[in-house]
Homo-oligomer: A and B are copies of this chain.
Amino acid sequence: MTYCLGILTRFGLVIAADSRTNAGVDHISTYQKLFDFSVPGERTILLCTSGNLSITQGAIAALEKDIKHKEEINLHTLPSLAEVARYIGNKIRGIQEQDRPFLERDRIDFKCSILLGGQVMGEEPNLYLIYSQGNFIHATKETPFLQIGETKYGKPLLDRTLTANTPLEAAAKCALLSIDSTMKSNISVGPPIDIVMYHTDSFTIRHRLRLRLGDPYLAKIRKLWEIYVKQAFDEMPEVEWEYDEDDFKEDILID
Contacts and interface: CB of A to CB of B under 8 A. Distances in A.
A238 interface: yes
Number of copies: 2
Interface in A233-254: 233-245, 248
Which of A159, A197, A225, A236 has most chain B Cβ within 10 Å?
Answer: A236
A71 interface: no
Interface in A207-238: 207-210, 217, 220-221, 224-226, 228-238
Contacts of A170: 233-234
A231 B236 CA distance: 13
A160 B176 contact: no
Which of A152, A156, A238 has most chain B Cβ within 10 Å?
Answer: A156
Contacts of A186: 152
Interface stretch (A29-37, A100-108, A177-185): A177-185
A173 B206 contact: no
A172 interface: yes
Contacts of A81: none
A220 B239 CA distance: 11
B156 A209 contact: no
A209 B153 contact: no
Contact of A225 (B184, B220, B236, B248): B236
Interface of A: 152-157, 159-161, 169-170, 172-174, 176-177, 181-182, 184-186, 195, 197, 204, 206-210, 217, 220-221, 224-226, 228-245, 248
A35 to B, nearest CB: 17
Given A160-B230, A233-B174, A239 B185 contact: no
B232 A173 contact: no
B232 A231 contact: yes
A15 to B, nearest CB: 13
Given A159-B185, A208-B243, A210-B242, 18 more contacts: A152-B152, A156-B182, A156-B184, A159-B184, A160-B184, A160-B229, A161-B233, A169-B238, A169-B239, A172-B238, A173-B233, A174-B233, A177-B236, A206-B243, A206-B244, A209-B239, A225-B232, A225-B236
